[in-house]
């Protein structure tokens, strides 16, 4: 995907950061998730644990919502 040139990775990181900021403010989560997965894949090629952790923290978390059940008692 990318060659191991640090300047190219720095430019790519800046692009990913700008795109993430834009999608977080203006778009649905599906597009942002695809962007973050691609970004994480790039960082894994570099094998930089700090950068991978930074991207992982941006990943959306699954939220399990609980609903209250109303019990209606009969006559």
What pTM value is reported for the model?
0.68
The span from the CA of 23 to the CA of 33, in Å, is 9
For residue range 4-53, list pLDDT tens digits in order.
567 888 899 999 999 999 998 887 788 988 999 999 999 898 888 888 89
Altogether, the residues listed in the chain come to a count of 75
The span from the CA of 58 to the CA of 6, in Å, is 22
Domain locations along the chain: 6-58
């Amino acid at each position: 995907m990318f060659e191991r040139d640090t300047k190219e990775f720095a430019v790519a990181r800046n692009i990913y950061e700008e795109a993430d900021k834009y999608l977080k403010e203006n778009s649905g989560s599906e597009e942002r998730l695809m962007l973050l997965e691609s970004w994480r894949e790039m960082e894994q090629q570099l094998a930089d644990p700090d950068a991978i952790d930074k991207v992982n923290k941006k990943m959306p978390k699954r939220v399990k919502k609980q609903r209250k059940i109303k019990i209606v008692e009969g006559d």
